[in-house]
Amino acid sequence: MGYENTKRQIWLPLLLALAVVVGIFIGSSLHRSNTPTALFFPNSGSDKIQSVLKLIQDEYVDTVSVKRLEEKALEAIAKGLDPHTVYIPAEKLAEVNEPLDGEFSGIGVHFNVTSDTVVVISTVPGGPSVKVGVMPGDRIVTVNGKIIAGVKMDQDSIVKRLRGPNGSKVKIGLKRSEVKELIDVTITRDRIPLYSIDASYMVNDSIGYIKIARFARSTYQEFFEATNKLHKQGMKSVILDLRGNTGGFLDQAVQIANEFLPAGRLIVYTQGNARPRQNLYSDGKATCKNDKVVILIDEFSASASEILAGALQDNDKGTIIGRRSFGKGLVQEQIPLADNSALRLTVARYYTPTGRSIQKHYTFGSEEEYAMEISNRYAHGEFEQVDSIKFADSLKYKTPGGKIVYGGGGIMPDIFIPLDTIGINRYFRVVSARNLIYRYAFSVTDSRRNVLAKFKNVVELENYLNTINVLKGFETYARNNKVVAKPGELKVCGKIIETQLKAYIARDILDNDGFYPIISRIDNTLQKAISILKGDTGISQSKSKGGKKNIFALLLTKPRAMQLARNKA
């Protein structure tokens, strides 16, 4: 496909790449005092910036906010450095820190917006909403006396109304099926945990699966508890899924790598202009050192994900499967400033045990070029053919076991899995673009909630779903929404649609413990990992079988992206 034909298709990966850049500024955390820095600008003979601001304040034709200009100046300074240095305004700091802090203050619900109405999908066990009787399926009609049902309102605005300071109260009016009057409840907001491990379960009698969504403050503890649970269930091999994991705290990745390595192995080292080299070694207390391990990565695995994957790859522990990772090899330190804003400043580079820097190329101050890099990989065929990836000889490194690995732009997997396009046809793209698959799945959940709630495991739930033929019901639903399958189209994409329907319904009832075991069946990368651990030692590189397809379908319809459907408050 020529470059001209891909211009429209490039915009989505550009947006996704920008999201990754935003999401991995805190690629690691180095210890320092939390005392706010009093002044951002050091005193100098000229004090040029302060002088210019004072001149504007005194002489400018109109009244302007000097504070706003200061904020813009700080943002511009950060943008003039590397792509991962960022200035965070005070009003944004809590929101930015939240995913990695591992908790937020709210009412303890997962919700979706359906027909401009907030619908409670599930409640946090023991959380504030459970304590006052909020139930899955309830519609939130009013918040503090103001109607939000039937009102065009973006999800961020809804979240802001439901969340608030710990201990504060919010009055909510609920509409419940078969109850005529609104049910008014007053909820006292509390700390709600944000878990960084999405799922951990046994694939079979000996293979465990752990999905790590990000490296937050609690990730290692969550990982330790997950492996302890799975070992008790017979785990001898483990699949670590880092796809879409844009990073987090360096120490959390190091501690997890430590669980797989014998004593004295180098895990990672960091070094910067003002930071002498710091080596981090394994301590020999590994609880998973006898386990076989496969790590799944993709183009959105970044930062701490790459540290973990690189540490195991360079120590000849396990197999890396997927596609080349993002390529973020820079270390940030978050420095608090006097007005409760912060600067995330790149202070060092990190290197894998063989000495690889996996930071991809960037030009100072060129955000757009950096953000487009993932899109360019797609345009050059890298998502489909391993042969399209070229490395200079100077970027080759050798592990102690003799394996060739590469630096200079992400972690290259041992086994390449192309972006899967099988089953992606016109009908699937249309129903996906209109969100009909999720909407129908929710309608099934909502109309059969009392029946579905009785099932306590995914096997029982799926057996029931097989009796009601969700795919046939979906075909009718899509037709009613003016999307009709042409002859043969459902035969091509029906398995994917049916699997997604079941996975969405299972997630609404059983959370991720229901979602992942079902969606894994159409996950080629995961299935390859399972076959490797079962003893299929073939290391041949996979080839794409579907040809180039619409990038919207390719990037938005796979298991990682399917996690975007729910909100937390």
3-state secondary structure of 451: helix
- Residues whose CB is less than 8 angstroms from the CB of residue 460 and which lie 6 or more positions away in sequence, other chains included: none
Residue 307 to residue 313: CA distance in whole angstroms: 10
- By the 8 A CB rule, do 523 and 243 touch? no
CA geometry: angle 439, 444, 450, nearest 5 deg: 135
- Residues whose CB is less than 8 angstroms from the CB of residue 10 and which lie 6 or more positions away in sequence, other chains included: 372, 375, 378, 379, 551
Residue tagged active-site, from 175, 211, 328, 360: 328
Q: What is the 3-state secondary structure (H, E, C) of 250-296?
A: HHHHHHHHHCCCCCCCEEEEEEECCEEEEEEECCCCCCCCCCEEEEE
Q: Which of 462, 459, 469 is nearest to 505 (CA)?
A: 462
Q: Cα separations (Å) of 52 from 61, 71, 177?
A: 14, 14, 62
Q: Quickly tell me which residue has 């029946």 as its tokens.
A: 451
* CA dihedral sign, ordered 82, 277, 359, 18: negative
Residue tagged active-site, from 303, 325, 341, 520: 303
Query: Is 508 an active-site residue?
Result: no
Phi and psi (nearest 5°) for 408? 90, 10
- Residues whose CB is less than 8 angstroms from the CB of residue 384 and which lie 6 or more positions away in sequence, other chains included: 418, 419, 544, 548
Residue tagged active-site, from 82, 138, 251, 314: 314
Query: Is 549 an active-site residue?
Result: no
Residue 209 to residue 214: CA distance in whole angstroms: 16
Q: Which of 139, 117, 201, 163 is nearest to 511 (CA)?
A: 201
Instruction: Tally Cβ neighbours within 10 Å of residue 316.
Output: 12
- Residues whose CB is less than 8 angstroms from the CB of residue 387 and which lie 6 or more positions away in sequence, other chains included: none
Query: Is 328 an active-site residue?
Result: yes
Catalytic residue positions, numbered:
303, 314, 328
